[in-house]
Structure 1
Amino acid sequence: MVLIPRAPVSMSRRIVPRKSYAKLPTVLEVPNLIKVQLDSFQRFQEEGIKQLLEEISPIKDLTGNRLELSFIAYEFREPRPGHSEQECHERDQTYSAPLYVKVRLLVKDTGEIKEQDLFFGDIPLMTSKGTFITSGAERVVVSQLLRSPGVYFTREEDPVSGRYLCQAKLIPTRGAWLEFETSNRYVLSTKIDGKRKIPITTLLRAIGYGSDDDINKLFEKEEKQSEHKYISITMEREPNIKNKKDAMLDIYKKLHPGELPSEANAEKLIHNLFFDPARYDLGNVGRYKLNKRLGVDISLKERTLTREDIVEIIRHIILINNGKDHSDDIDHLGNRRVRTVGELVQTQFRIGFLRLEQVVRERMSIIGTEAVTPSALVNIRPIVAAVREFFGGSQLSQFMDQTNPLAELTHKRRLSAMGPGGLSRDRAGFEVRDVHFSHYGRICPIETPEGPNIGLIGSLATYSIINEYGFIETPYRKVVHELSSKDKKLAGRTVTEDILDEKGKTLIKAEAVITTEIAEKLAKLKSKKIKVVPFVTDEIIYLPADEEDRYVIAQANAPLDENNQFKEQRIEARLADGYLLEEPAKIELMDVTPKQVVSVATALTPFLEHNDANRALMGANMQRQAVPLLRPQAPLVATGMEMEAAKHSRQVVFAEKAGTVTEMAGNIDEKGNTKYRITITHDDKTTKNYDLMKFVRTNQGTCINQRPLVNKGERVEVGQVLADSSATENGELALGQNVTVAFMSWEGYNFEDAIILSSRMVEEDMFTSIHINKHEVEARDTKLGPEEITRDIPNVGEESLRELDEDGIIRIGAEVMPDDTLVGKITPKGETELSAEEKLLRAIFGEKAREVKDTSLRVPHGEWGKVINVKVYTRKDSKNGGDDLPAGVNQWVQVWIAQKRRVSVGDKLAGRHGNKGVISIIAPKEDMPFLPDGTPVDIILDPIGVPSRMNIGQVLETHLGWAAQLLGFRALTPVFDGANDLAIEDALCRAWIVQQSGAIDPNPGENKEPFNKEVAINWVNERGYDGKAVFNEKLNGKAREIGLRLWLEELNISAKKLGSEELEKTIEKVNAEGRFSPPTYGKVILNDGRTGEPFDQPVTVGSIYMMKLIHLVEDKVHARSTGPYSLITQQPLGGKAQFGGQRFGEMEVWALEAYGAAYNLQEMLTIKSDDVTGRAKAYESIIKGDDILQPGVPESFKVLVKELQSLGLALEVINEEEAKIPAIEDTEEEAFKLETEPQSTEEPRWKEVDKDVRD
């Protein structure tokens, strides 16, 4: 056996072009994927604040004739100095800009006008990446998917009559809900804000249709056509109400029972409920939806309810009851809208502004008019508080998932049905969570969490956009059936009917093609429509879900000819929730691309169409959890979305203009920070600096490290990649590694999804990642004096301080381990009553002996690494410049520690198809199974994990990856439009031919192909076949056919004269009989690395893309001997975060009971747990070498006894002789006795032990 050292698969030496297997052209480029966030916040800044100020302006005092405060204009000023994005990150500050509002106060008594520019608080700003920085952490505001305001009609079957009865709900943006229902006795009634039922005719009378005749006229037509006279029956149920006054008083009594109604109050109530803009607002969206559903044409500026609206709703209820109209589907995306960042922030601002309005009104009534100014009236605290509350505490303002660039991007495109005004996961039923046909092209049917939030949190589809009303739209291509006679596109089109000129003479017959000459003649005719054979244009229209339901839409892969006409007579199409086979004449629109159905993360999975949806969901979610690796590799088998995802995550640096790289440097600025940048001088002589991030910690502790890809003096074009990030390679997303995989069982180590990894992965740092932790300490003023950061720490040896500088701060580059000192800090101790000896020492040495406590910052348990950065901030004073620090803080030190984590047993690896597993063993590479050429495989997966999971995409990826690795190309196979079986088999046969012919170059140069094509072609030609045909990509299936015939001939079976069917049968027979596998099966005879013997059966081998997930074993492994105890039960705490112990629970107790291990059990439940006195004595006995004494009573038993005594039960503990045992004395007293009695000659050691026990 020969072990061949192999170059890594990474192609970063040269950018190998992708070989695309896509069959469809690109009609529409992927839109800006974070536009949702950027546009929405910009709209808030430009229009949202203006709307809010207009809503509350002017504010008048309670009498309305003394003072009037108006808001005239507003502006955002530049962020304060020292508050750039980067500085806010480093110093835990909020990236914000001050909002100033021009306020005008009119004193009506004197006519005096006072104007001031008032500061309205610091408003968090959105960064160019679509995020907010609050207290140094990047946050994302997730868009919310809610039921849209408007009217909804539903039908429910009446169990008595079996008829379907209609109900309706009118939901405003702000104000009272109005509900309508039909009883089983055909009475129409309404509820206002869920209160008592009111007959519908009473409501109609109250809003102005006072008499019976008025009401009957409104519904005359519907009543005539209806089997049941709904209005007449309802009128009969009205007790003694015949006019508007009676109706208003009746409604008032039902809404305010117990109050004495008056006509004026009742009229005011009705007006306030539905017709007062301050109290009732449908919003733009509500009015738009109401007009659309009811078929009325009321101005969009009319945002309150009108009488016509209520009449139309009642009319629709009658029509639905009669089966002449349809009810609404509340889960349809036409009835659900998205509230984006801008709108969510605006809603929060509105709360602040309304509180501000109340404050101003109250101050106006108190303050005198002489000295009043706008600043005296306005208090901005409510606004500041509302904003802080939203960004800090809202369910929709989330800590950004920054694990890798894809995680960032998908977090910004997330949709949540939860949050304020939304659903809760307990009340959400199956229907809300389920995939709906209207999600097509709008919300991804795959990407959603697996737990209790399934279906409530989704992701926007790749091409979807959100319109001005908040409805999700998706793009379609227009299908044209007729053209104007003057249209230039007529030439080359086929007409569907005879066309006559003005004299009635036939210009062109049906089914003939219009030539240029005839097109010119047609252009001279009067303008008329000419019917042509339907063809698909590149004109794009965006449709919301409710409009789309009217169109017949063909799918993106419907075959088209060179004129973009449909090739087939029947086209697969869809109409609303139905699927049809339609003739081309009926097709109105066509999908833009097959990947418009899925989200970005889902579109990154090659061969998605071959995976079960559940596994595809896991694959999409796990890509977001992949840790950026030290040596990123873009996938050999990609989908084409990798470049888009990297680009829109804003982590990759692209050139904005063409030019030349003039400088690449790391400069130290005036604050001592190193700035890494690429400077480009553009063709127009302007320059641009592109700053790079070096070893920056993300929210999840992973590392962002941008690496330049250009050199000084290099020419760059627009859009060229200047620098890669942590999880990208040449501007493409690179979340994992291409590894050689074998699907086989190996000594049971890959049982149940476990993974066997080669030691080569560890040696070559293929799955090594960098993780950064930040530690900080503050030196504060205390009541006993200031804390001090110093190297002079009491009772700490020089050895522990060797890496600290003269100020007591660790040096950059120091290797640190758990409990090492990072920053030395001492805190003054409270003065206690001094003993005679201490008084003497104080008298001799003076203040030197004063007591200080060591409160140094140390490396936490379980952490280690290298110090990569230290920042020290010192309070400003008059002599020296300094930093703005919070009150009481004199110094603030931040230390960053980086860890280089190699892959280890227990880490979780996953592919892109939901194929996940935990590493069970890292085997020496020489023990791994090896290929015929001596190459050991990198990873062994369990073949049993494939069939039951139905994620066959991983097998196809393995096959195509194998061919790509051997032939030196990178495959591009988009979702639903990728490589088919034949293309993969062709590629496998080419790879086999290249291997067999010896054409592979063992040491390819910098820019050379990995194999010599001429050698391979000659090898095929020598055997009597066409070598060039094998490598001709246009001849589908040719490489497969020749490869299989050559394979048979290599086995001494004549194959030249075999027909296609005979060839297939012969191959199946040979495969079944022997240990030989044809090249199309992608299988190889592997040899056992330990014995050199071949395995029994051929094994599927190829190249697969695997990622290391953030669930690293190092973050989970934890051990403790002693540590903190719970205050009440005195039992050890639980969990790694609390440095807790292992719980010996109920079931573990059973296990020891089963073995009869009484003494072990007693130890576990007493001295190893919560017998305070016992454990202290046991420790002492171990130190002295004595026998451990009898354990005492557990503290938790004492707690139980005390609990029962507190309930008034006189509980005593009695032994077998019925003698009372004083088992329930206070532990504190016993512990005190222990401390005061002389216990041991090693007193200092014992004091230390006891302190540990008590802590």
Structure 2
Amino acid sequence: SPGAYLMEPKDATKQVFTANLMPSRGSWLELEIDKKGVVYARIDRKRKLPITTLLRALPEEDPSTGFKLDTSTNEAILKLFDNSIFIVNTLEKDPSTREEEALIEVFKKQRPGEPPTLDNARNLLKALFFDPKRYDLTKVGRYKLNQRLGVNVPDDTRVLTTEDILALVKKLVELPHALGVDEESKDFAADSIVLSRDPIRSELDEYEHFGNRRLRTVGELIQEAFRVGLYRMERVVRERMTTEDVDTITPQTIINIRPVVAALKEFFGSSQLSQFMDQTNSLSGLTHRRRLSALGAGGLTRERAPIEVRDVHPTHYGRMCPIETPEGPNIGLMGSLASMATVSEFGFIQTPYRKVIGGKVTDEIIYLDAAEEAQFTIAQASAIVDEKTGRFVDKHVLCRSKEGEAVTADPKDIQFMDVAPAQIVSVATALIPFLEHNDANRALMGANMQKQAVPLMITQAPIVGTGLEYRAAVDTGDVVLSQAAGTVVDVDAGHITVETKDGKDEYPLTKFMRSNQGTLIHHKPIVELGERVTGEQVLADGSSTDNGELALGANLLVAFMPFEGYNFEDAIVISERLVKEDVLSSIHIHEYEIDARSTKLGDEEITRDIPNRSEESLKDLDDRGVVRIGAEVSSGDLLVGKVTPKGETELTAEEKLIRAIFKEKAREVRDTSLKVPHGEGGKVIDVKTFSRESGDDLSPGVNELVRVYVAKKRKIAEGDKLAGRHGNKGVIAKIVPEEDMPFLEDGRPVDVVLNPLGVPSRMNIGQILETHLGWAAAHGVFADKDAGPNGFSRKPIAADNPHSVATPAFDGATEEDVDEALVEWVNRNPDSPIKFLVDPKRPVGRKTSGKVRLF
């Protein structure tokens, strides 16, 4: 954010403290106290000059606020800073004694090599800090500057004032005094290094703090591009006004809007932040729209980004997700907006809190940014509150203090309370059940891999969810919502009609549309004829939702056990049932495009009349030479017939006669038809044709354009990647017939066999807890209740072992109990390394860092 920052120096052996004054647009002013105790200023990273030189060069009366500054004598300058030793030292180094000398000195430093004159120097200083066209703090910059420096400059003053510069220098020279640096010191930098920073911790700023970092939303970025375009247009207008004849001049002759259009096209076409939307599934689209980036124009570059910027900062709490970020070179530079965060008018990210008055939690929600939050003591969402009285049950509540530390506080000293535990993480992370039992690295993978899930033909909402699935599905915009309450009077695959008190509402449904990534966008009605619907009710599911809940995968029966080595090193074994019953099958749509252009040898032509092609190969083409909708095509089949003129040699008399008789037919042409690429195929679901004759807007030289959409059903196969929500990913190594899969006591074969060694070292225990809860849910323990401390009956799941859901598994090939066979094998081979697997006294200790040792 633009504003003033007082900071620790980059090189603590050469400087004591530094200060920066950063505008949104314009020259940077950097101040520093060096080890000799002299205060220097740098403008735009040029050569440094004593701060007293700059103060002397400033106008006596500020042009925008009228603030008067007396720097005529050394005594007057010292009086401004209470005779600070640092200003005394600076005056000794100052080569100037009057305003004129100071102006020339500033000009020499900024424009070395140019002849210095007083007028040039005055104009330069004005252009650097006081010209609204060249210098802009913006509204937020002025707000932050007033707040940080304690000045009271009007909000509409968006240039720098002499009062701002004076206040910043005062703050800077007070810091060493507050730190306790000896004023008689010979090396101020060396003396300040050894002193504790605690007394001045609150006075120092850090760029990573979310009170200092702000979001530049898309509107602001477009505004910036538009402003650049307008400045370019202004230059053209000025030039034309000087050259055009005054009598014949009109607005049309002098104004050319092309620079503005070009600037906007450049932004949308080539800006790093203008991206092709990720539409793999509903969640990936939602997450992409909530993406936060530190890269792009005016931001960092991934090569030079310091490690501190990538780190999680305490002020990310409730604002940016600490889990969801890419794994590659962009780690920490790209983030995701937290699930309940919002953006303030100044661009700072705010998070909601419940207000606490006199130890009583109210339902009033207040949004605070990181700077505002620092003044309060805040309880966490899991603090127990009495439902009747609204008061905290515990006498001492765990909170975040004003200093940012975790403390236990008396309820009457608490001002706010978190809204929900999920507010600290992003939507994708909040969809992971038992997130708190997973290692952060694996949770990161789980959050990212949910965005890569392909929408399945048969969608299933998760049995074990987090409660956010419905809200996430609605917010993606991929489901159809009713606008008002009413009755469904007509429903079919293509549309839904709801009769409301104000008339009939029509809801068209999208069918078999291609997403940017080639996955399916498709609506399925979930209401019936005559059904009463409420406002905002889900009428139709999207391609990755089930009954209005986000459904990115399938609920499968999983066994954690070795399987003949086929699930070694994260490989996965699955049952053939998943292939046969299309449990994990998906539909993909490919787009194929061909155009007919004008060439030097003549026009290309889209036609059915293609040389050297059998009638069999043309059977699915219509009279225009375009494939019919509904045709089944495989690799090498024709989609669109096209011929291109060949380069012609000198014609013989006979050829000229044939040409005259048969007109153009006998022309030499080449077959350049559009064919289905190798390995692809499917069913043609749509064909779009565009032509210059019909008035379609085509690229120069293109006469006709045809797009063909081919849908293909893909079944799960060996080599495909499967992943859970806990970062447990693997590749399918073998698809096993159902009868050979391990089965349970009741004879049910499992769907997936995972390697148990994939759990302990990865420390993502959430997957084990998910299987426990899924097992309980599948056995009807919850009976339509939520899983919670009071949400289920405490009846044991297994009568003989009430504290475990471990179940006997039987080998599908031999029908032997797997566990018993293993114990028997270990007893027969006493030196077996597998002994640790069945030994109940597993070693846990310092040597293994508390992790379970397996071998």
Aligned counterpart, 2:281 = 404
Residues 841 and 970 (structure 1), Cα distance of their counterparts in 2 relative to 1, 3 Å cut: farther
Q: Which residue of structure 2 aligns with residue 203 of structure 1? A: 54
**Residue from 511, 524, 528 that aligns with 1:711:** 528
Q: In the alignment, is the contact (CA less than 8 A) between 1:157 and 1:165 conserved in 2?
A: no
Quote the offset at 1:295 in angstroms.
Answer: 1.4
- Residue pair 1:463, 1:474 contacting (<8 A) in 2 also: yes
Q: Supply the AA of the counterpart residue of 2:434.
A: F
Q: Which one of 226, 232, 242 corresponds to residue 97 of structure 2?
A: 242
SS in 1 for 2:818: coil
Counterpart code for 2:393: K
1:153 aligns to 2:30 (yes or no): no
Q: How does 1:950-965 map to 2 (within 5 A)?
A: 950-965=763-778
SS in 2 for 1:738: coil
1:935 maps onto 2:748 in alignment = yes
- Contact (CA 8 Å) 1:636, 1:970: kept in 2 or not? no
Deviation of 1:780 after TM superposition, in Å, equals 2.4
Specify whether residues 752 and 835 from structure 1 end up closer, same or farther in structure 2 by C-alpha distance, changes over 3 A only. Answer: farther
Which residues in structure 2 correspond to 1:951-1100 (within 5 Å)?
951-967=764-780, 979=788, 1033=791, 1038-1040=794-796, 1046-1047=799-800, 1078-1097=801-820
Other-structure match for 2:675: 858
Which residue identity does 2:397 align to in structure 1? I
2 CA distance for matches of 1:968 and 1:350?
A: 62
Give the Cα–Cα distance (whole angstroms) in 2 for the partners of residues 860 and 330 of structure 1. Answer: 52
Q: Do structure 1's residue 577 and structure 2's residue 439 form an aligned pair?
A: no
Whether the aligned pair in 1 keeps the contact of 2:782 and 2:792 (CA below 8 Å) is no
Alignment check: 8 A CA contact 1:637 1:970 kept: no
Contact 1:639/1:972 (8 A) holds in 2: no
- Name the SS for the 1:261 alignment partner: coil
CA contact 1:1086–1:1098 (8 Å) conserved in 2: no
Q: Distance in 1 between matches of 2:702 and 2:316?
A: 53
> Following TM superposition, by how much is the alpha carbon of 1:1079 offset from its aligned partner in structure 2, in angstroms?
4.0
Give the alignment partner of residue 925 of structure 1, picking from 738, 748, 752: 738
| Structure 1 residue matching 2:462: 3-state secondary structure | coil
8 Å Cα contact 2:785/2:791 also seen in 1: no
CA distance in structure 1 between the aligned counterparts of 2:783 and 2:667, rounded to whole angstroms? 71
In structure 2, do the counterparts of structure 1 residues 719 and 968 end up closer, same or farther at CA, with 3 Å as the change threshold? Answer: farther
1:844–1:584 distance in 2 versus 1, CA, 3 Å: closer
Amino acid at match of 2:92: E
Give the one of 422, 437, 449 matched to 2:299. Answer: 422
CA distance in 2, matches of 1:835, 1:730: 73
Q: Say which SS state the counterpart of residue 556 (structure 2) adopts.
A: strand
CA contact (8 A) 1:1087 1:1094 kept: yes
Q: 2:489 aligned with 1:682, yes or no?
A: no
In the other structure, the counterpart of 2:364 is 539
8 Å CA contact 2:492–2:525 kept in 1: the answer is: no
Secondary structure at the aligned position of 1:657 is classed as coil
Shift of 1:310: 0.7
Q: Secondary structure at the match of 1:542?
A: strand
1: CA distance, partners of 2:102 / 2:284:
58
Match of 1:640 among 452, 467, 481: 467
The aligned residue for residue 1130 of structure 1 is none
> Deviations along 1:521-563, whole A, 9 cap, x unmatched?
xxxxxxxxxxxxx211111111110111121111011111231
Consecutive unaligned residues of structure 1, counting only runs of 5 or more, are 1-147, 482-533, 667-675, 984-1031, 1048-1077, 1100-1255
Taking the aligned partners of 1:1098 and 1:392, their CA distance within structure 2 comes to 64
Question: Which of 758, 777, 786 pairs up with 2:603?
Answer: 786
What's the CA shift for 1:265?
2.1
Instruction: Provide the C-alpha distance between the structure 1 equivalents of 2:311 and 2:156, rounded to a whole number of angstroms.
Output: 36
User: Is the CA contact (8 Å cut-off) linking 2:558 and 2:751 kept in structure 1?
Assistant: yes
Cα distance in 2, alignment partners of residues 628 and 1097 from structure 1:
40
Q: CA RMSD in A?
A: 2.1
Provide the secondary structure at the position in 2 that maps to 1:621. Answer: helix
TM-score scaled by length of structure 1: 0.61
Unaligned 5+ residue runs, structure 2? 61-70, 180-199, 823-855
- Structure 2 CA distance for aligned equivalents of residues 775 and 580 of structure 1: 62
Change (3 A) 1:972 1:390: farther
Alignment of 1:631-1030 (within 5 A): 631-665=458-492, 676-684=494-502, 686-834=503-651, 848-876=665-693, 883-967=696-780, 979=788
- Residue 31 of structure 2 corresponds to which residue in structure 1? 180
> Which of the residues 405, 418, 435 maps onto 1:608?
435
Shift of 1:884: 4.5
Please tell me the residue identity of whatever aligns with 2:510.
M
Answer yes or no: is 1:563 the counterpart of 2:389.
Answer: yes
Q: Name the CA distance, whole Å, in 2 between partners of 1:765 and 1:1034.
A: 33
SS at 1:1096 equivalent: helix
Q: Does 1:218 align with 2:80?
A: yes
CA contact (8 A) 1:165 1:182 kept: yes
Structure 1 distance, partners of 2:661, 2:28, is 83
C-alpha displacement of 1:785:
2.2
Q: 1:1176-1191 to 2 correspondence within 5 Å? A: none
Displacement after TM superposition at 1:905 (Å): 0.4
Letter in 2 for 1:900: K
Question: What is residue 338 of structure 1 aligned with on the other side?
Answer: 215
Secondary structure, counterpart of 1:337 in structure 2: coil
CA distance in 2, matches of 1:615, 1:291: 44
Superposed CA deviations along residues 450-498 of structure 1, whole A, max 9, x for unmatched, are 00100000000011111011110111111112xxxxxxxxxxxxxxxxx
Alpha-carbon deviation of 1:841? Answer: 6.6
Q: Which amino acid aligns with 2:436?
A: E
Q: Any idea what SS the aligned residue of 2:412 has?
A: helix
Letter in 2 for 1:210: S
Is 2:206 the counterpart of 1:393?
no
Q: Aligned partners of 1:786 and 1:247: how far apart in 2?
A: 73
Aligned to 2:374: 549
1:368 aligns with 2:230: no
Q: Distance in 2 between matches of 1:216 and 1:655?
A: 71
User: Post-superposition shift, 1:886?
Assistant: 4.2
1:21-100 mapped onto 2 (5 Å cutoff): none
Spell out, residue by residue over 1:881-908, the C-alpha distance to the aligned partner (whole angstroms, 9 max, x if none): 6644444433322110001000000000
Matched with 1:1219 is: none
CA distance in 2, matches of 1:964, 1:647: 25
Query: How far does residue 971 in structure 1 lie from its aligned partner after superposition?
Result: 7.9
- Structure 2 length-normalised TM: 0.89
Q: What is the CA–CA distance in structure 1 between the aligned matches of 2:720 and 2:273, rounded to whole Å?
A: 31
Q: In 2, Cα distance between the equivalents of 1:266 and 1:301?
A: 27
Any idea what SS the aligned residue of 1:323 has? Answer: helix
Mapped to 2, the partners of 1:912 and 1:700 lie a distance apart of: 22
Structure 1 residues 968 and 802, CA, compared in 2 at 3 Å: closer, same or farther? farther
Distance 2:134 2:666 in 1: 71
Q: Structure 1: which amino acid aligns with 2:485?
A: A
Distance 1:353 1:380 in 2: 8
SS of corresponding position for 1:638: coil
Identical-residue share of aligned pairs (%): 56
Count the aligned residue pairs: 787
Hey, what's the Cα distance between the residues in 1 that align with 2:792 and 2:779?
20
Q: 2:719 corresponds to which letter in structure 1?
A: G
Residue of structure 1 equivalent to 2:206: 329
Name the SS of the counterpart of 1:321 in structure 2: helix
Query: In the TM superposition, what are the counterparts of 1:100-179 in structure 2 within 5 Å?
Result: 148-156=1-9, 165-179=16-30
Contact preservation (8 Å) 1:741, 1:940: yes
Report the counterpart of residue 313 of structure 1 in structure 2.
168
Q: Residue type of the partner of 1:350?
A: R
Aligned residues of 2:785 and 2:792 also touching (Cα < 8 A)? no
* Contact 2:216/2:347, CA 8 A, preserved across alignment: yes
Distance 1:843 1:543, change over 3 A: closer
- Kept after mapping to 2: 8 A contact 1:789/1:824: yes
Tell me which amino acid in the other structure corresponds to 2:795. Answer: A
